[in-house]
Homo-oligomer: A and B are copies of this chain.
Amino acid sequence: MTTIKDIAARLELSPSTVSIVLKGNGDRRKIKKETQQRIMNAAKEMGYKPNIQAKILRGSLSAKANISLYWVSDNRIHLLSRFLKGLQIAIMENNYQFQLSIVPYENNHLQDALTQESVLTTNAIIICNPSETDMEYLEANDFHIPIVLYNRYSSKYATVNMDDKTIGLLPADIFAAHGKKHPALLKSPATFSGMNIRTNVFEFQVSESAMERPVSVMVEDSMKGGYLGALTLCDLNPLPDCLFCTSDSIALGALKAFYEKKIRIPEQIEVISVGSGRPEQEEYCIPSLSVISLPLEDMAEECLKILSDSLTNFKYTPTSITFPTPYVARQSCPALIQ
A44 within 8 A of B: yes
Measured in the bound complex, the distance between the Cα atoms of B281 and A224 in whole Å is: 10
A104 within 8 A of B: yes
A138 within 8 A of B: no
A181 within 8 A of B: no
The answer to whether B120 touches A49, judged by C-beta atoms less than 8 angstroms apart, is: no
A51 within 8 A of B: yes
A59 → B minimal CB distance (Å): 6
Measured in the bound complex, the distance between the Cα atoms of B47 and A315 in whole Å is: 10
Measured in the bound complex, the distance between the Cα atoms of B80 and A102 in whole Å is: 12
A120 → B minimal CB distance (Å): 6
A190 within 8 A of B: no
Contacts of A53 in B (CB 8 A): 53-54, 56-57, 62
A301 → B minimal CB distance (Å): 14
Which secondary structure characterizes the binding site on chain A?
helix
Stretch from A129-137, A249-257, A318-326 at the B interface? A249-257
The answer to whether B280 touches A223, judged by C-beta atoms less than 8 angstroms apart, is: yes
| Given A47-B312, A80-B84, A280-B249: A92 and B104 interface contact (C-beta under 8 Å) | yes
| Chain B residue at smallest Cβ distance from A249 | B280
Q: Which residues of A are interface residues toward B (Cβ below 8 A)?
A: 1, 23-24, 40, 43-44, 47-57, 59-66, 73, 77-82, 84-85, 88, 91-92, 99-104, 117-118, 120-123, 142, 144, 222-224, 227, 249, 252-253, 255-256, 259, 278, 280-281, 283-286, 311-315
Q: Sample 13 A-B pairs with CB under 8 A, ordered by A number.
A: A24-B142, A51-B57, A52-B66, A53-B54, A54-B57, A61-B121, A62-B121, A64-B121, A78-B82, A223-B280, A256-B285, A259-B286, A281-B281
Q: A47-B312, A80-B81, A252-B284 given; name 15 further pairs at CB < 8 Å.
A: A23-B144, A40-B314, A52-B65, A64-B121, A73-B92, A78-B81, A78-B82, A79-B81, A80-B80, A84-B102, A99-B101, A223-B280, A224-B283, A252-B281, A256-B285
